[in-house]
Structure 1
């Protein structure tokens, strides 16, 4: 039986041999690595220590410690990283070939011929399509995100994502972020009170997405590359379907609407206890709560205005009062104003 090796994952025999030696020894200093490579010459000549050091790190086979040692990454983690890298490269290659070949447009042409000759409700007028039925809407979203290359703008007027929503969105969102597409997402304030939603939003943020929370009503939008936009036929009943437009004037107007909503929204808090370096408050939500203490006499009113649960509102009020050393809500608002927090 042929001994197992890493060549199928794109690792050269020389680099694999050095990695195996790292595993046996636990690490190399730069001098040790240079001596090893000088002794272990092959037909092509000795390897350059700096190039070898860089390649092993880029491949995910080794890391450089603060003390300057080249240390091996654990085998399971190293192989996982190599597999993920190869899968990512293959996915990018196949998606690129699919885009350049025009195969999706060709298949869509066949699909639309079928729709035109059937009773399925699909209306087409120039650069605008009316799409009815959630299955058709999701297919349209899949198509849009597949071709998105520069920017993705989306909103969530409800602010709460179910496990099913997240499962469906994760593949598309990951595909977009993997291409380094600039993703901006606006979420309604109820997201702050839903752990499942917040966990997913922080997952997206860690991958490079920009997410803000809005305390104002949001219009449901999906805009891709400022070239195509999807909006519901009836905002009150999104299950009726959507309108897909590529009309430059309409898309520009919807982009302008998104930008106005974005400007009035607040950055997603990193965590419930993460402090704002400028104010010392936990997050943007607490600044909104401080402002509401001036205008709202009851917690129920303040919570409703911010679109969050009363329990969440009261939890933040108690935290604010404790930080400020305030004995009541009114004093907390005054102290916050004196400190320039609001």
Structure 2
């Protein structure tokens, strides 16, 4: 048997041997695998062994099964990268669970006593509500909250636009949450649709399991973790000033209710850059609002203002709708949309 080199990444020697064989041959079927393991393909134990190895090759990401049932090797670079990521994720989960069970953060906070800026209470003090002053202290509080989040994360972004710096910081926290299969819901202001950097990151989150909606109504800034703790700004007009952290059950419940009401007014993140639906049906509720505005608003500026978006974005949506309907003007688009039952 070939000397194993992938055991430290969790790959059994017999599985690695077959993977190496796959790399040399380019691929083979399960029957051919069984024949390689023994001359007598009818031997029940050999068939079971081949099935187990076949399954482990695909589960570990060393091979994929083609549409015609052929087992094909994954490229070594991609295979090893996947094994490393799997090992790191497993180790990270074990370490986080150990840190949580041993209350490491709580004990360190007890030693710390005060926030980074001084004068404010530590986020996990005995009080159910604390004022946290300064962005450094707020970020420290968010780091702590996300570390302990296990079931649900609810957030809003009233500005809708995320800078590269904020994305770099958020990616670490969001990835930590999504790795645990935490139910993440994020509500973004409509300005997100106008910023490619923000949209790219939002779609990255969606690909990892997050639920994102766009709101065309004013939003309150909220971060709620496990419906047990919530962060709101001390001054909504000056968020760098700091935040209020509350664990009071009544206050948290009220903030959750506020989030749910805002969430209901939101629309799903568009599936493409121009916001067009991917199905033949008219699934984008925001486009329905655009169509209604064509009846009521005399000017684009009026329609855009009513929907809380830029005139450029409004016109972009109008042009997209007209293309889908095959309309030559906006009035015809509104009539065709009504005929199809879209509005």
Q: TM-score, normalised by structure 1?
A: 0.92
* 8 A Cα contact 1:152 1:181, kept in partner: yes
- Give the Cα separation in 1 of the matches to 2:225 and 2:282: 37
Aligned length: 334
Q: Deviations over 1:159-193 (max 9, x none)?
A: 11111110000010011000000000000011111
Cα gap change, 1:52 to 1:326, in 2 (>3 Å): same
Question: For the residues of structure 1 that align with 2:128 and 2:190, how far apart are their CA atoms?
Answer: 34
Q: Which structure 2 residues correspond to residues 1-342 of structure 1 after superposition, within 5 A?
A: 5-38=5-38, 48-112=49-113, 114-115=114-115, 119-122=118-121, 126-272=127-273, 274-277=276-279, 279-280=281-282, 283-342=284-343
- 1:208-228 deviation digits (Å, cap 9, x = unpaired): 000111111010000000000
Shift of 1:69: 0.9
Q: Residues of 1 paired with 2:292 and 2:112: CA distance?
A: 53
Q: Which runs of 5+ in 1 are unaligned?
A: none
| 8 Å CA contact 2:189, 2:215 repeated in 1 | yes
* Structure 1 residue 288: Cα displacement: 2.3
Deviation for aligned residue 1:278: 5.7
Instruction: Tell me the SS of whatever aligns to 1:11.
Output: coil
**1:315 Cα deviation from its structure 2 partner:** 2.0
Deviation per CA, 1:221-254: give whole Å up to 9, x if none.
0000000000001111111110000000000000
Query: Shift in Å at residue 4 of structure 1?
Result: 7.2
Greater Cα offset, 298-307 or 187-196 = 298-307
Residues 1:94 and 1:125: Cα distance change in structure 2 (over 3 Å): closer
Q: CA deviation at 1:39?
A: 5.5
Give distance in 2, aligned partners of 1:147 and 1:119: 24
Point out the more displaced range, 118-127 or 269-278.
118-127
Secondary structure at the aligned position of 1:48 is classed as helix
Whole-angstrom CA distance in 2 between matches of 1:262 and 1:145: 21
SS in structure 1 of the partner of residue 38 of structure 2: helix
CA change 1:3–1:292 in 2 (3 A) is: same
> Take 1:296 and 1:144, find their aligned partners in 2: how far apart are those partners?
45
Shift in Å at residue 334 of structure 1?
Answer: 2.3
Moved more, 27-36 or 120-129: 120-129
In the alignment, the residues of structure 2 paired with residue 317 and residue 115 of structure 1 have an alpha-carbon distance, to the nearest angstrom, of 50
Distance 1:119 1:199 in 2: 37
Partner secondary structure for residue 130 of structure 1: strand
3-state SS, counterpart of residue 177 of structure 1:
helix
Deviation string, structure 1 residues 277-329 (Cα, Å, up to 9, x no partner) = 36347x44322211221222111121222232212211221222233233332
Alpha-carbon distance, 1:3 to partner: 7.0
Cα contact 1:192–1:308 (8 A) shared by 2: no
Contact 1:122 1:132 in 2 (8 A): no
Aligned CA distance change for structure 1 residues 20 and 324 (closer, same or farther; 3 Å): same
Indicate the SS of the match to 1:81. helix
- Cα distance in 1, alignment partners of residues 153 and 169 from structure 2: 17
Tell me, in whole angstroms, the C-alpha distance in 1 between the residues paired with 2:18 and 2:225.
46
Equivalent residues of 2:4, 2:17 under 8 A apart: no
Q: Does the Cα contact within 8 Å between 2:325 and 2:337 map onto a contact in 1?
A: yes
5+ residue gaps, structure 2, are: none
The DSSP-based 3-state class of the residue aligned with 1:203 is helix
After superposition, the Cα gap between the structure-2 partners of 1:270 and 1:323, relative to the gap in structure 1 and judged at 3 Å, is: closer
